[in-house]
Structure 1
Amino acid sequence: MMKNNYKTTGMTLLVSALLSLVLTACQGNGTAGETAAADTSAKPNIILLYADDLGYGDISCNGATKIHTPNIDRLAAEGLRFTNGHAAAATCTPSRYAILTGEYAWRKKGTGILPGDASLIIPLDRATLPSMLKKAGYATAAVGKWHLGLGSQGEPDWNSEIRPGPNETGFDYAFFFPATADRVPTVFIENHKVVALDSADPITVSYKEKVGDEPTAREHPELLKMKYSHGHDGTIVNGIGRIGFMQGGQRARWADEEVEDVFTVKAQEFIEDHRTKPFFLYLAFTDIHVPRMPDTRFKGKSGLGYRGDAILQLDWAVGRIMKTLDQLGLAKNTIVLFTSDNGPVLDDGYQDGAVEMANGHKPAGEMSGGKYSILEGGTRVPFIVRWPAAIKPGVSDALVSQVDLLASFAAFTGQSLNSADAPDSYNVMDALTGKSKQGRSTLVEQGNGLALVEGNWKYIAPHKGPKIAKNVNIALGNDMQPQLYDLKSDLAEKNNQAAAQPDRVKEMAAKLEKIRSDGRSRK
C-alpha cells in the first residue's frame, strides 16, 4: 500500500475510509491473510497498544462511570483484564525504555523525561523486544510516539538522515514523532527522515535559547488557541505553545487534530501489508498526553473537557485496529496487549478544562497519586491481553509489569537471551495468558524514588522531595521516613504501618537494596 504524507485531517479521514473499504473487500474475497490466520498453530501476531497518561480509572471496564470506552471494554470482555498490571515507572521515557529493553530505567543514567533533541538512550548491543521478535521471524513496526532519543552523539540533524533510532533498535519500519506532542520538533519521521521536509526551509531546534523569529507563547499569548498553565511557553505551533524552540520545517509540521488519525492509518497499513506472516506492531498513541487537541468529531463529546474527549478518540483508535483485525480475519490469532505508560494527570501544562470539568471522574480509580508519583496511581495502569485462540476471558489479580514483556515473549517464541539482556524481565507468560494466577513475586516501582511491592505489601524507601507535585497537584509519596502499606486493605495508601512493623520494613528495605546493588533482578 502507498505510504502517503498526510497533511490534513480531511485527507487522513478519506484515506482511513478507503482503507476500510479495501479491508472489507479483502475479507469478502477470502484473502491469503485470512486463510493463514485461520491456522492458529502459526505464530500469533502481536500488537502492543500503548496509551499515554491513561489512568487505571479512565476506562469504563475498570470502573469509570463518567465516561464510556466501548472498544477498550470489548478488548477486556474478550480477553484478560489485570487489576495489578504496572508500567515500570510513573513517567513516560523510563517506562518506554523498560518495556523495550527489559531493564528498569533507574539503572541507567539519562533515562528521565527527555527533551525533544536527546540522543538515543537504548543500548544497541542488547536484545530489545522488537529485535528479539525479529529474530523469531516477526516483521516489526513502531508507530506513534517515540521519546527515547535519536542519533548517537549530540543533537540530531533534522535535515538529513536521522540515525540511530527505532530502526536500529529492531523495528523494520517506523513512523513516529520524536518526543511528545508538547515538545518541538512537531514533525513526523518515517524511518530516518522527516516527512515532507523542504530543503529550502531547514529545521532548527533548541532547548536552551530561542531560535529564529517565530512567535512564542510567552511573548504572544494572544495567538494561542489553547492557553498554557505552566511551561509550554516556547514556539507556537498550530496555535499551541510548546516546550522548546523551533524554526523552519513549515511544510513538515503536523496539526494536533490529525495526529492520532495518521498514526492509526499507518498502523492499519502495516497490518494489511503483513497479514500473511507474523508481525509485531508497537503502536504508541499520543492520546491522552497534552496538548489534548482531538479531532473535531470528539470535541465536546465527553463532557469532561478535552481530556475526556481525547479518551474517546483513543478508544476510537483502538476500535479501528480491532476492526482491521476482524476484517482481515486476523483477530483470532493476534495477541493484543493494551496498557498505558504511566498514571494519570489532569493539569499537565495547558488550560484544557481537565480540572474544571472533571465532574467527579476519578482517573486513578481508588488509588492515590498519578503521573510522577511513587504511590500506586503512578504505575498501576490499564492492562488488558486478548488472544481469542488461547486466552479465556476473565479478570486476573496477578502482579505483572511491562518490563516483563521481553522475557515473556522470548520464552514464548523460543528465543534465548544473553546474560546481559533484559536484566529485570521475568517470564510471566503463563500469567499473561491466564494459565496461572501467579505473576511476579516482587516488583520495583519508580517515581521520584523507588518502592518494592511483595505480595500485598508495599515498601517505599525514604526519599526527599515535595509532598505534592508543583502545578499538577498530585501526591508524590515522598517522605524521609520509610512507608509500608498493605495494598489489599489500603489501596489508597493512607495508613502507614512502618512504625508498627519494623521487621517487615527492614526485610523489604534489604531486598530493595539487593536488587539495586546486584544490577539485575532476573537470575
Structure 2
Amino acid sequence: MTILPKLTSALFVASCVALSAADRPNVIIIYGDDVGYGDVGAYGSKMIPTPNIDKMVSEGLMFTDGHCSAATCTPSRFSMLTGIHGFRNGVRILPPNAPLCIPQDKITLPKLFKKAGYNTAVIGKWHLGIGAKGTPVDWNGDVKPGPLEIGFDYSFLLPSTNDRVPCVYVVNHRVRNLDPKDPLYVTRKYESPNEKSTRYPDGKTNREAMTYYQSSHGHNQSVINGIGRIGYQWGGKSALWDDETMADEFVNQTKEYIAKQKGKEEPFFLYFASQDIHVPRAPHPRFQGKTELGYRGDAMVAFDWATGEIMKALKENGMEENTIVIFSSDNGPVYDDGYKDGTTVLTSTKESDRGHDGSGIYRGGKYQIYEGGTRVPFIVKWPAKIKPGKSDAMMNQIDFLASFAALLDVKLGDDEAIDSRNMLPALLGKDPKGLPYMLEEAGILALRHGDWKYIQPRKNKKGPGKPQLYDLSKDPGESKNIATDNPDKVKELQEILEQLKKSKVGVRNEKISS
C-alpha cells in the first residue's frame, strides 16, 4: 500500500513569510449555491455570461481541481466552517426548524479569525440550523444559538434555504421587521398554533396559489409570494422577504459592512453565502431573459453581478490590494429541483440543458458522488501576494481552516479541525500538486488519490453494490468503471478509505501505512 504523507504547517514555514499584524489581509469567501464547474465562463460556460467572475479569474489563481467536501449543501458548509467531515457528525441536509448542527465548543473559521484579532460576519444563506436540540426555536424572541454562538460578530441571514420556511431575514438574534401582533411559527403540519397569525395557502390542497410557478415535486406546503415551500409557516407577514430582491438585499448589506470596516485597525472575515442559483430561482426582473437557459441561467448572471459589486466595494474602500477573496460553491449543479421554472430536466446520461452543462466535462452533479458533484469553481485572489494564473493542484474547502491557521500563526490542537490540512502553499500558487488524497461525500464516500478515484459500493435492496474505480487522467468523465481490471488498486484504496472513515483522529492526524 502506498504511504501517504502527513501534511503539516511546516510547509507554510518553508514557503511563506510570516505576516505582521499590520499585514494581515481581510478575507472574503463568496459562496455560490448549486453553482457547477461549468457554470462560469472561465471554466467553459458558453451560454451564461459571467464577466465579473471571469475578471476575478484573470486577476487571481484559478484552480481546475478544486472541491467542496460533499455533493450537498449542509455537509459542505459544515465541513468548510469546522474542518470536520459532515459524516463524522451525522450532518445531512437540514429540514426547517433544525437545531444548530455545529457544536458550540468546536473551533470554526470565524473563531479562528477572532483569535487572530478579526471582526467576523456572515451574510446570506445559512442552512446550518438555528436553536438548541430538543428546544423549539422562538422565532418571536431571541433566535439562537446560531452564527453568533459559533464565532461570528454579525449575521444577516436567510436562516435555512430559500425553498424552506421561514421566509424571513434574521439579523443577529432577531427576525427583521417582525410584527408582534402577527407571531411567527414554523410547523410540520398544516395546523395553526395561533389564531392571530397570518395563514398562508397550503400548496397540497391549493395548487392555484402557486402563481409564480408551480412545484414539480415537493415544495408544496406553505405558499409564500406565490411560491410553494418546504414546511409550514404561520404569521410574520410584515417580515417576509421578496424573492426577486434577495440578491440585492445581500449585496447592499455586504456593501454596508465593508464600508464600516474602512479605517479600522482590525481586519475582517466575511462569509458571503449567496442563495443563487438554488431553487426557487427568482432573479430580479432586470436579469430575467439575460440567457437562453431560463431562470437558472438568469440567476447565475445575477450571482455574477453580485460578485462584481463586492469586488467594486473593496476597490472603492481602498481594500482590494490586501484582501483575499475566495470564490467557490457548496456543490455541483442541479436542474429541476422542485419547481417548473423553465429549466430542462437533466439525467445522468449527460443530456444538455439547451447546449449548457453545469458540470462541464464531468459526470454527475448535486447529490451525486461523481466529480460533477464536488468539483466546483475555485478561485483565489490576493493582489498583494498571489500572482494570477492557473493551478491543477487538488484542493478542498475543508482545508481552509488549517490553511488560514497557518497564515495567521494560530496553532490548532490535534483534536481541532481534525480533517483540515494546511494547503496554504497551494492556495498561494507555490505548490502545484496540492492534496495527495481526499474524501468526497454524497451519502456514500469516495477517495481521490491523485488521479485515481475509488467509490465505495452503495447498498441497495438487492444487497451491496459494486465498487467503482476510475483513472481521471484518462477518463475525467468517469465513463468506464475499471474496478474489475484493477483488483489490487481497488483493495489498496478501499483500505485507505475505510481507515480514514473510521479514524478517531481525523484525516490530518491519521497515519496511513502499509
Using the size of structure 2 for normalisation, the TM-score is: 0.90
Q: Judging changes above 3 Å, is the alpha-carbon distance between structure 1 residues 48 and 465 closer, same or farther for their aligned structure 2 residues?
A: farther
Question: Within the alignment, does 1:182 sit opposite 2:169 as a pair?
Answer: no
Q: 2:438 aligns with which of 443, 458, 466?
A: 443
- 1:136 matched to which residue of 2? 116
Name the amino acid aligned to 1:345.
V
Superposed displacement of residue 163, structure 1 = 1.3
1:296-331 Cα distance to aligned partner (Å, 9 max, x none): 100111111000000000000000001001111111
Superposed displacement of residue 489, structure 1 = 1.2
Q: Judging changes above 3 Å, is the alpha-carbon distance between structure 1 residues 253 and 465 closer, same or farther for their aligned structure 2 residues?
A: farther
Using the alignment, how far apart are the partners of 1:123 and 1:479 within structure 2?
Answer: 33
Using the alignment, how far apart are the partners of 2:283 and 2:461 within structure 1?
Answer: 33
Using the alignment, how far apart are the partners of 1:180 and 1:384 within structure 2?
Answer: 24
- 1:248 matched to which residue of 2? 235
Moved over 2 A (4+): 207-214, 464-467
SS in 1 for 2:237: coil
Alignment of 1:102-501 (within 5 A): 102-109=83-90, 111-153=91-133, 154-211=135-192, 213-224=199-210, 225-276=212-263, 277-355=266-344, 358-465=353-460, 480-501=465-486
Using the size of structure 1 for normalisation, the TM-score is: 0.89
Using the alignment, how far apart are the partners of 1:350 and 1:479 within structure 2?
Answer: 33
Superposed displacement of residue 210, structure 1 = 4.2
Superposed displacement of residue 275, structure 1 = 2.1
Query: Contact between 2:200 and 2:224, CA under 8 Å: does it hold in 1?
Result: no
SS in 2 for 1:370: coil
Superposed displacement of residue 340, structure 1 = 0.2
Name the amino acid aligned to 2:171.
E
SS in 2 for 1:395: strand
Question: Within the alignment, does 1:95 sit opposite 2:76 as a pair?
Answer: yes
Name the amino acid aligned to 1:399.
M
Using the alignment, how far apart are the partners of 1:161 and 1:125 within structure 2?
Answer: 20
Superposed displacement of residue 223, structure 1 = 2.1
1:223-249 Cα distance to aligned partner (Å, 9 max, x none): 222111000000111010000101100
Query: Contact between 2:294 and 2:342, CA under 8 Å: does it hold in 1?
Result: yes
Query: Contact between 1:211 and 1:245, CA under 8 Å: does it hold in 2?
Result: no
Using the alignment, how far apart are the partners of 1:217 and 1:392 within structure 2?
Answer: 52
Superposed displacement of residue 260, structure 1 = 1.0
Using the alignment, how far apart are the partners of 1:54 and 1:169 within structure 2?
Answer: 26
Superposed displacement of residue 491, structure 1 = 1.1
Name the amino acid aligned to 2:500.
I
Name the amino acid aligned to 2:108.
T
Using the alignment, how far apart are the partners of 2:70 and 2:138 within structure 1?
Answer: 30
Using the alignment, how far apart are the partners of 2:40 and 2:492 within structure 1?
Answer: 36
Count how many residue pairs are aligned between Structure 1 and Structure 2. Answer: 474
Superposed displacement of residue 95, structure 1 = 0.4
1:70-126 Cα distance to aligned partner (Å, 9 max, x none): 0000111100010100001000000010000000001112x1100120100101111
Using the alignment, how far apart are the partners of 2:403 and 2:289 within structure 1?
Answer: 41
1:389-413 Cα distance to aligned partner (Å, 9 max, x none): 1111111111110000000001100
Gaps of at least 5 residues in structure 1 are 1-38, 468-477
1:462-486 Cα distance to aligned partner (Å, 9 max, x none): 112599xxxxxxxxxx971111000
Using the alignment, how far apart are the partners of 2:464 and 2:281 within structure 1?
Answer: 32
Using the alignment, how far apart are the partners of 1:433 and 1:210 within structure 2?
Answer: 54
Using the alignment, how far apart are the partners of 1:160 and 1:222 within structure 2?
Answer: 34
Q: Judging changes above 3 Å, is the alpha-carbon distance between structure 1 residues 514 and 437 closer, same or farther for their aligned structure 2 residues?
A: same
Query: Contact between 1:126 and 1:420, CA under 8 Å: does it hold in 2?
Result: no
Query: Contact between 1:40 and 1:389, CA under 8 Å: does it hold in 2?
Result: no
> Taking every aligned residue pair, what percent have the same amino acid on both sides?
50
Superposed displacement of residue 374, structure 1 = 0.3
- 1:62 matched to which residue of 2? 43
Name the amino acid aligned to 2:79.
A
Using the alignment, how far apart are the partners of 1:502 and 1:210 within structure 2?
Answer: 56
Query: Contact between 2:202 and 2:221, CA under 8 Å: does it hold in 1?
Result: yes
- 1:470 matched to which residue of 2? none
Gaps of at least 5 residues in structure 2 are 1-19, 194-198, 346-351, 510-514
Using the alignment, how far apart are the partners of 1:297 and 1:155 within structure 2?
Answer: 39
Using the alignment, how far apart are the partners of 2:397 and 2:503 within structure 1?
Answer: 21
Name the amino acid aligned to 1:317.
A
1:313-361 Cα distance to aligned partner (Å, 9 max, x none): 0000000001001111111110000000000000000011111793110
Query: Contact between 1:66 and 1:359, CA under 8 Å: does it hold in 2?
Result: no
Using the alignment, how far apart are the partners of 1:94 and 1:57 within structure 2?
Answer: 22
